[in-house]
Structures are given as structure tokens and as C-alpha cells.
Structure 1
Amino acid sequence: MTNGRDDDALSWDGDDDPTLDVGTSADPDDTPPDPADADVDAAAGAELPDGFTAVGKGSETVGAAAAPDMARADRGPMGNGELIGVGVLGGVYALFAIGWIIGGLRLQDWRPFLVSDAMYQGSLWLAVLAPVLWFATVFLLTRASRAWVRFAWLAAGVVLLVPWPFVLIGAVGQ
């Protein structure tokens, strides 16, 4: 009777890879080494990132990682709450851009009384692009900042970039 991996229910191409046999032995009396008896010096070269603390046996020999250089000051990946919040605010900014298009086009009838045609078209498209540019600028410039800084600037943009023509006149017009 064999004790190898050929007795498995399924066998796949590459199952004979020696790295897959970690911890198995042909001798049933051979016991695996106790992890508590591991050499403490192996942890001496380990480094932990900022914010992490080593605990347990040999934790005093674990050092902290070196501070990242300022050229690569990106923070870690966004958490679930931050990702959802940025997505919701991104949707608000997309709706603001649509609101500026609809409200600005509704004002075309009043345009001759306000400004010339070239000035109106330029300001209309700047107003449409303003929410998109604000969101992209805040998102890119606050990559290394804390989450509350990013949300403070995004909230300020929500207050400042309200599509007033759409709010006051609406899509139908009064």
C-alpha cells in the first residue's frame, strides 16, 4: 500500500510538485517539529509595517519597518466604508454634472438677456466639467492624506457645486 499523493480522490497535472508535499513524510513515526521550539533568531530580521505590534515569544526581536520615502507616500488600500463613501459621493458628482447640463440647457432661452453666445457655451461646459474635475482633483491630491481630509474636501465640493439652474428651474421649467 502506498502512502503518497496518488491515493487522493482526484489527481491533477502538477500534483507531483515537491513544494506541495510540505509537512508530509513517508515514515508514520516521524512527528513534525514543534513550532514553539523554532529558533527565535529567525524573527530577528523580520520587520513590521507601521501600526502593527509583534506579540508572543521572540516579539522583542522584531523591528519596525523603515519609514516610507516621501516619493511613495501612498497610504494603504481603502477600507469598505471609505470605498462605499467615495462611490456614493462620486455618484453625487456625476448627478451634479448631469444637473448642470439639464439646467444649463434650460437657460438657453434666457441667454440673450444675460451673456453672448460664446460666453454662455464656454461657461456651460466649464460648469458641467466642474464636479468631475473637483472629484478627480480631490481624489488624486488626497491619496496620502487621512480619510477625513478626503471626505471634508468632497463634502465642500458637494456644497459648492450644486447645480443651481436645475434646482431653481428644474427639468420641466416653471
Structure 2
Amino acid sequence: MTPSSDDDALSWGDEDDPTLHVGSSSARAEPTRKDESAAERPALPDGYTAVGRGAETVGAPTDEHAPALGNVALLVIGVLGGIYLLSTIGWVVGGLRLKGAADFLVAPVAYQVSLWLAVAAPAIWFLTVLWLTARSRVWVRFAWLIGGAALLLPWPFIMVGTVGR
């Protein structure tokens, strides 16, 4: 009985197929040249590692790359990036809200410089941590990002808010 096209997907194929014989040296034998240099060996894309028989003939990447992050780590970094964005908005709103009171305490130029440094601080911290911890463990990156989010809370917004006097 010949299998139909629907049954082909459920069958293991022909048992005499030479590509299915894992133990056969003739099926896996690859022609190699004695004068083949490391530069001529096939290279893998970044992040891939050759395993199994013949893996030593595959050229390894020459430079160190940052470890790849998983989906959960990327999601957490995105959430922390959103927190830093909200912190930046909080510094803008809270800082502009305190402008009238700050004119009595400091020079207007000093207030403007300190306000815009405070507004830029969350973005600078976030990007600097991502850059400096690129080759570190994931928990180190998260520790610095969470610590920065706590350190850079927009206190003028938290204490005064947007409510009029």
C-alpha cells in the first residue's frame, strides 16, 4: 500500500536513505583540503556555536560579543526605560511648577541649568548603564537600573505635584 500525500508527513521516510544513517562515515564525510586555513573555514553568524562532529573545523568568531539577552530581560529593560521616561517627565513638570518659588532662592540662570540637568539625568543614567554593563551579567545591569530609578525620583513632582495653590 502506497502512502498518500497526507500520510507522508507522518512517516519517517525510507529506512534505506543514506542521509538517515548517523553512524555511517560515508554519509557525513566531507571533503577537506590539507591546505585549508582558518580564514577559509566556514564561519557562523554572531551568537551561534558549532556543536557535534566536525565543530572544530568551523571558524569561531574572533571578537567577544555581549551576551544575548532573553525575552524577559528585554521586556524588563523596556519597562525600566518607561519608568525612566516617566521620571524625566516628572522632573520637567515638577521643576517648572517650582519655578516661582525658586526665583526667590537662586538666580534664574542657575535654576534653569540645574532644572535641565535634572531633566537629562534619567536619560543619561539609563544610556550609561546600558553602555557600561553591556558585557556584565544581567543582574548587575538590573541592579544599576533599579538603583538609578530610585535615586532619580522626581522629588519636586512628588512633593508638589500639579495641583494649583
Change over 3 Å in CA distance of 1:67–1:117 after alignment to 2: same
What residue number does 1:165 align with?
Answer: 156
Structure 2 residue 130 is the aligned partner of structure 1 residue 145: no
- Measure, in 1, the Cα distance between the counterparts of 2:50 and 2:164: 61
Give the number of the structure with larger relative contact order, counting CA–CA contacts within 8 Å between residues 6 or more apart. Answer: 2
Root-mean-square deviation (CA, aligned residues, Å) is 3.1
- Written as runs of structure 1 = structure 2, the 5 A alignment for 1:6-155 is 32-35=17-20, 36=22, 37-39=24-26, 42=30, 54=51, 58=53, 62-63=55-56, 68-69=62-63, 73-155=64-146
Give the deviation of 1:114 after TM superposition. Answer: 1.6
Change over 3 Å in CA distance of 1:68–1:150 after alignment to 2: farther
Contact 1:138 1:153 in 2 (8 A): yes
Contact 2:43 2:61 in 1 (8 A): no
- Measure, in 1, the Cα distance between the counterparts of 2:128 and 2:115: 20
Superposition misfits of 4+ residues, deviation over 4 angstroms: 38-42, 44-55, 64-68
Give the deviation of 1:163 after TM superposition. Answer: 0.2
With the length of structure 1 as denominator, give the TM-score of the two structures: 0.65
- Measure, in 1, the Cα distance between the counterparts of 2:98 and 2:49: 57
Gaps of 5+ in 2: 1-15, 33-40
Q: What fraction of aligned residue pairs are identical, expressed as a percent?
A: 44
Gaps of 5+ in 1: 1-30
With the length of structure 2 as denominator, give the TM-score of the two structures: 0.68
How many residue pairs were aligned? 137
